[in-house]
């Protein structure tokens, strides 16, 4: 991931230093487990731990130099670790293990740590959506379907629905975290032929992982599920950002992204305040879907393993988790600072819509007065078309229509915003399930 979109705390979990440090911890724990079994002398296991190499950039460089000879990165890593610990104790490092025992378990440990960060970020995102839903539940705005004026809703209703979606994403992240928090140390094809299952249990317990049956590698549907959870987060953020982009258009003007002092919206046109963050987030959601596609392709491996997944994962897993954290944090700030232009929304609703948003209400009241649905529909549809063509108030045209059956009181009821939105509290009721 390019630094521009890589949160430092998440990036630190996936750099070479962190990767080798996680692998080394797996190796040392395996040696200690073997000591518990009496396979490795306890003093030797203790020596391995006490001489634990410092994993820094110099160590990474040494492994890279060694890999130029071995053409095998894990073998190069083991060689350097054994050399740093020293003989004969270092010889017990990697005893009875295959590369994937170490690499897969270490990777799942890293992914679990990153998932914990994402869960915290997702909780913050849900919280800000819930807060804004409560703040804005009574602020009306035009609802739209197919991009056309529909019936009134509220900003708070919109935020509530996004909060519920984000909370479902949070649940997905938590499930994906449990699915990926696993490890395996069962040897070349997963049969424990040269390693006792106790070692797997010992190592996983200390890393907070669940030991699972496997071939040489941990099943990649687990990794794909984590990528799906991240992509679902991105899709919800994209949905939110798309809504903001539409509502921010000049002809609507119902919301604005926060605009900081000194910020420039356009290099050429000083008047511009473009929804650049929303657009950026929409673009990032496209990238996330690409990561998911690659992750699903990694599920089907040959027999007990091949390494067609390895090169893919080195790119998509760190990048996806970093990008998800970035998107969650930016989306949280976007919602927190979103400017609500309530007066513009009121104008669009009361004047810009010509009152057509109440057409269904008029239709239903005419049916109540005894007209057939088809007859009432034709009258209301004709009046609505006339309002659009003449840019006149819908109610004014209805009153002048000789076939109109509603009196002023009935029209008042049909055109009542309070009546249309009287059940808006149900949105907040739903949020009580997410701690709202």
CATH number of the domain to which 409 belongs: 1.10.40.30
Taking the CA atoms of residue 92, residue 97, residue 98 and residue 103 in that order, the dihedral angle to the nearest 10 degrees is -90
Q: Are residues 316 and 370 in the same domain?
A: no
Helix (H, G, I), strand (E, B) or coil at 150: strand
**Same domain, residue pair 127 and 74:** no
User: For position 436, what pLDDT does the model report?
Assistant: 41
Residue where a domain terminates, one of 332, 349, 366: 349
Q: Which two tokens stand for residue 222?
A: 């687990």
171 shares its domain with 220: yes
Structure tokens at 136: 């804005």
Domain harbouring 315, CATH code: 1.20.200.10
Which position among 50, 146, 250, 303 bears the catalytic label? 146
Residue 416 in domain: yes
Residue 52 sits in the same domain as residue 125: no
Phi/psi region, residue 262 (left: phi>0; alpha: psi -120 to 50; beta: rest), is left
Residue where a domain terminates, one of 95, 130, 155: 95
Is residue 146 flagged as an active site residue? Answer: yes
Print the domain residue range for 119: 108-192+216-257+271-349
Which residues of the chain register pLDDT less than 50?
436
As given in the structure block, the two tokens for residue 34 are 């073997």
Give a yes or no: residue 140 inside a domain: yes
What's the start-to-end Cα distance of the chain, in Å? 35
Name the token pair of 104.
Answer: 């897969």
Asked whether residue 203 is assigned to any structural domain, the reply reads: no
Does 428 lie in the same domain as 379? yes
Same domain, 358 and 343: no
Q: Is residue 339 part of a domain?
A: yes
Decide if 206 is inside a domain: no
Residue of 266, 293, 308, 416 with catalytic role:
266
Residue 205 is assigned to a structural domain of this protein: no
DSSP 203-240: HHHHHT-EE---SSS--THHHHHHHHHHHHHHHHHHHH
Is 306 a member of any domain?
yes
Question: Same structural domain for residues 301 and 411?
Answer: no
Domain of 73, CATH number, reads 1.10.275.10
pLDDT at 156 (0 to 100): 97
- Distance separating alpha carbons of residues 349 and 331, to the nearest angstrom: 27
Domain count for the chain, please give it.
Answer: 3
**Is the same domain home to 178 and 69?**
no
Instruction: Let me know if residue 412 belongs to a domain.
Output: yes
CA dihedral sign, ordered 219, 223, 229, 234? negative
pLDDT at 239: 98
* pLDDT tens-digit map of 410-425: 999 999 999 999 999 9
CA atoms within 13 A on the CB side of 87: 1
Q: Are residues 330 and 236 in the same domain?
A: yes
99 as an active site residue: the answer is no
Same domain, 91 and 225: no
Cα–Cα distance measured from residue 90 to residue 104, given in angstroms and rounded to the nearest whole number: 22
Asked which of 38, 70, 95 is the last residue of a domain, the reply is: 95
179 and 325 fall within a common domain: yes
| Residues 20 and 82 both lie in one domain | yes
Strand, coil or helix: what is 255?
A: strand
């Amino acid at each position: 991931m390019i630094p521009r979109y890589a949160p430092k705390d998440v990036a630190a979990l996936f750099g070479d230093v962190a990767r080798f440090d996680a692998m080394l911890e797996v190796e040392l724990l395996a040696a200690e487990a073997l000591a518990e079994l009496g396979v490795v002398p306890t003093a030797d296991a203790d020596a391995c731990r006490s001489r634990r190499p410092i994993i820094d950039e110099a160590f990474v460089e040494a492994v890279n130099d060694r890999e130029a000879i071995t053409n095998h990165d894990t073998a190069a890593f083991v060689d350097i670790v054994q050399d740093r610990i020293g003989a004969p104790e270092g010889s017990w490092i990697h005893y009875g293990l295959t590369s994937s025992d170490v690499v897969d378990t270490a990777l799942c440990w890293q992914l679990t740590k990153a998932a914990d960060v994402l869960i915290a970020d997702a909780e913050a995102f849900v919280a800000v959506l819930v807060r804004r839903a409560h703040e804005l539940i009574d602020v009306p705005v035009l609802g739209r379907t197919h991009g056309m004026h529909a019936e009134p809703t509220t900003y708070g209703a919109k935020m509530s629905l996004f909060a519920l979606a984000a909370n479902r994403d949070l649940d997905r992240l938590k499930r994906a975290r449990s699915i990926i928090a696993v490890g395996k140390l069962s040897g070349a094809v997963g049969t424990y032929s040269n390693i006792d299952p106790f070692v797997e249990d010992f190592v996983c317990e200390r890393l907070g992982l669940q030991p699972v049956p496997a071939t040489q590698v941990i099943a990649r549907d687990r990794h794909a599920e984590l990528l799906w959870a991240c992509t679902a987060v991105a899709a919800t953020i994209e949905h939110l950002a798309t809504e903001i982009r539409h509502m921010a258009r000049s002809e609507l003007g119902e919301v604005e992204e926060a605009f900081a002092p000194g910020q420039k919206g356009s290099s050429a046109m000083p008047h511009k305040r473009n929804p650049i963050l929303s657009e950026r987030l929409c673009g990032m959601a496209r990238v996330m879907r690409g990561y998911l596609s690659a992750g699903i392709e990694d599920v089907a491996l040959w027999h007990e393993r091949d390494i067609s997944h390895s090169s893919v994962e080195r790119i998509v897993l760190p990048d996806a988790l970093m990008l998800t954290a970035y998107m969650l944090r930016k989306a949280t700030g976007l919602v927190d600072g979103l400017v609500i232009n309530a007066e513009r929304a009121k104008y669009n609703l009361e004047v810009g819509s010509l009152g057509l948003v109440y057409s269904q209400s008029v239709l239903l009241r005419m049916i109540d007065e005894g007209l057939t649905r088809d007859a009432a529909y034709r009258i209301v549809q004709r009046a609505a078309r006339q309002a659009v063509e003449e840019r006149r108030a819908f109610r004014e045209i209805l009153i002048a229509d000789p076939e109109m059956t509603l009196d002023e009181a009935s029209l008042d009821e049909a055109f009542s915003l309070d009546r249309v939105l009287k059940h808006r509290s149900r949105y907040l009721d739903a949020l009580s399930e997410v701690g709202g």
